Amino acid sequence: MFVEVVRMFVVVLGTAAGFWLARDLGDPGSGIEGVGGILGCLAGYVGGGRSAACSTAQWARSTAGRSAFLLPPSSLRPWEQSAAHLRG
């Protein structure tokens, strides 16, 4: 869900930036604003999805890495605990 929300935000920003940039650089009334908006939307879709996915993957790796060090090694092998109860 996070990736889609970030992507949508970046798409809106990219569309607006492309529209305004094309409007400032192009001839008035030439219709280039629509092309600029479409290109800005495309760049925002790809860039927003890529940056959100990378940040999500980085967060998941850091969270998984931290939580793995917090667990005691005995909790990672529950079958050994049950075997100890059977022996004892």
Span 18-67, pLDDT tens digits: 999 998 888 777 888 889 999 999 999 998 888 887 877 777 666 665 66
Res 16 pLDDT > 70 = yes
Which has the closest alpha carbon to 22: 11, 31, 33?
33
pLDDT of residue 78: 60
List b or e across 5-19, with b for residues whose CB sees 16 or more CB atoms inside 10 angstroms: ebbeebbeebbebbb
Q: How far apart are CA 35 and CA 52, in angstroms?
A: 25
For residue 6, give Cα distances in angstroms to 29, 42, 44, 73. 33, 14, 10, 37
- As given in the structure block, the two tokens for residue 49 are 């999805």
For the chain, how many structural domains are there in total?
1
**Cβ pair 22, 33 in contact under 8 A:** yes
Q: What is the mean pLDDT of residues 14-21?
A: 92
| Residue 76 confidence class, pLDDT cut points 50, 70, 90 | low
Helix (H) or strand (E) holding 71: none
Q: What is the pLDDT of residue 63?
A: 63
Task: Record the pTM.
Answer: 0.60
Domain range enclosing 53: 2-87
pLDDT for position 31: 82
